[in-house]
């Protein structure tokens, strides 16, 4: 019986591998899947998304400090730039030679022609090493990955709430909102003035920016969520919509505030990731389907953008 099942599995793996090879060959786009293919894996990511996902070897064009412990990296990835949408991310291979096998996920910060940028914070070994990589160093970039922010119901206004490097996930959205003439406010939080990010980039596209720092070195002394609560309390807006990214605690505070004011809210989650292609289930987060049911969904595939009211924050 065991042998029989094993045989069936091997056949299924072969069939899946053949189907995948066919898709890749048909599209002739040079998609390289970086992970082993097991039964079912090709269905892990929706096919339309898989077909506009690219694994590219490129080189760093620039990689410069923009604030304390934060860097902006620029590289050329024409196909990724062409298909990127607000909220989507890339999975970056930093260095394989020293046992750093897992890629690291970073949101696409900006797109300009054939180039993309990533704005990242030094957190651990991977991002430290990335920050030390010079111009012309090789880089493997897989993307664009994940779902996107939605503004088909026109926000009046859109309120972006970014905590620390979380603001990086909101910049492509900010650009898209302004291109669609949507009034947009940016609430930017940081530990201190030296770590403040993106203020000039937001102001350069006519976004009104409000700043909060934990130590009060610039802007409001306190959390960025204090500003959000204050604005929602004291401003009569038509149809405000909140878009947020940042540490988990900040996101859960945003979700609570906007639930109290009944303001629709989309958040980008930044869970730890393994494959980023819907296979390993390392990135799941609890989503409430109804009052009695919680389902674990993959941040890399069903997300990273979720409705804040769908997340089971207490689990």
Ligand X SMILES: Cc1cc2nc3c(=O)[nH]c(=O)nc-3n(C[C@H](O)[C@H](O)[C@H](O)COP(=O)(O)OP(=O)(O)OC[C@H]3O[C@@H](n4cnc5c(N)ncnc54)[C@H](O)[C@@H]3O)c2cc1C
Query: What is the x/- site pattern for ligand X, positions 114-153, by CB under 6 A?
Result: ----xxxx-xxxxx--------------------------
Rule CB under 6 A: which of 102-121 touch ligand X?
A: 102, 104-107, 118-121
Q: Determine contact, residues 143/53, Cβ cutoff 8 Å.
A: yes
Shortest Cβ 165–ligand X spacing (Å):
3
Q: Give the binding range for ligand X (CB under 6 A) out of 101-109, 148-156, 175-183, 193-201.
A: 101-109
Residue 298's binding partner among ligand X, ligand FES, none (Cβ under 5 to 8 angstroms by kind) is ligand FES
Residue (70 or 298) nearer to ligand FES, CB: 298
298 near ligand X, judged by CB under 6 A: no
Contacts of 71 (CB under 8 A, 6+ apart): 63, 64, 65, 119, 120, 122, 130, 131
Q: Of 62, 42, 39, whose CA–CA distance to 112 is shortest?
A: 62
**Interface of this chain with ligand FES, residues 247 to 286, rule: CB under 6 A:** 273-276, 278-283
Asked if residue 264 lies in contact with residue 276, where contact means CB atoms within 8 angstroms, the answer is no
Closest contact distance (angstroms) between CB of 239 and ligand X is 27
Lookup: tokens for 257: 């505030």
- C-alpha span between 79 and 151 (Å, rounded): 24
Q: How many CB atoms lie within 10 A of CB 113?
A: 9
Rounded Cα distance, 313 and 315, in Å: 6
Cβ atoms 168, 299 nearer than 8 A: no
How many residues in the shown chain lie near ligand X by CB under 6 A? 23
Tell me the per-residue interface mask from 71 to 90 with ligand X, x by CB under 6 A, - otherwise. ------------------x-
| Comparison of 130 and 232: residue with beta carbon closer to ligand X | 130
- Closest CB to ligand FES among 7 and 296? 296
* C-alpha–C-alpha distance, residues 117 and 249, integer Å: 27
- Of the candidates 191, 141, 183, which has an alpha carbon nearest to the alpha carbon of residue 166? 191
Q: Residue 103, interface with ligand FES (CB under 6 A)?
A: no
CA angle 161, 300, 269 (to 5 degrees): 25
The distance of Cα 94 from the centroid of its chain, to the nearest Å, equals 18
Position of tokens 């024409």? 78
Q: How far is the CB of 23 from ligand FES (least distance, A)?
A: 20
Q: Is 108 in the site for ligand FES (CB under 6 A)?
A: no
**How far is it, in rounded angstroms, from Cα 220 to Cα 217?**
9
304 binds ligand X (CB under 6 A): yes
| Residues in region 245-274 near ligand X by CB under 6 A | 270-273
Q: Is 300 in the site for ligand FES (CB under 6 A)?
A: yes
Site for ligand FES, rule CB under 6 A: 273-276, 278-283, 298, 300
Give the footprint of ligand X on this chain (CB under 6 A): 89, 102, 104-107, 118-121, 123-127, 165, 168-169, 270-273, 304
């Amino acid at each position: 019986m065991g042998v029989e099942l094993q045989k069936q599995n091997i056949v299924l793996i072969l069939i899946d591998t053949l189907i995948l090879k066919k898709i890749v060959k048909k599209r002739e786009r040079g998609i390289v899947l970086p992970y082993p293919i097991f039964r079912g894996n090709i269905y892990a990511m929706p096919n339309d998304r898989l077909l506009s996902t690219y694994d590219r070897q490129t080189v760093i064009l620039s990689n410069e400090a923009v604030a304390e412990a934060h860097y902006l990296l620029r590289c050329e990835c024409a196909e990724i730039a062409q298909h990127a949408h607000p909220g989507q991310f890339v999975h970056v291979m930093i260095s394989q030679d020293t046992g750093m096998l897992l890629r690291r996920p970073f949101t696409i910060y900006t797109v300009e022609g054939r180039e993309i940028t990533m704005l990242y914070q030094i957190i651990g070994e991977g991002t430290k090493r990335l920050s030390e990589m010079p111009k012309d160093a090789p880089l493997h970039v897989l993307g664009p990955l994940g779902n996107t922010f939605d503004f088909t119901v026109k926000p009046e206004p859109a309120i972006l709430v970014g905590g620390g490097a979380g603001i990086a996930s909101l910049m492509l959205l900010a650009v898209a909102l302004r291109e669609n003439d949507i009034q947009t406010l940016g609430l930017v939080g940081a530990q201190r003035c030296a770590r403040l990010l993106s203020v000039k980039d937001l102001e350069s596209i006519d976004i009104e920016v409000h700043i909060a720092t934990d130590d009060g070195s610039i802007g409001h002394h306190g959390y960025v969520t204090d500003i959000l609560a204050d604005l929602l309390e004291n401003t009569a807006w038509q149809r405000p919509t909140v878009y947020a990214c940042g540490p988990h605690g900040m996101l859960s505070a945003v979700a609570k505030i906007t639930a109290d004011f009944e303001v629709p809210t989309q958040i980008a989650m930044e869970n730890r990731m393994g494959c980023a292609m819907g296979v390993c289930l390392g990135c799941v987060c609890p989503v409430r389907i109804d009052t009695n049911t919680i389902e674990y969904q993959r941040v890399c595939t069903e997300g990273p953008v979720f409705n804040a009211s769908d997340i089971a924050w207490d689990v």
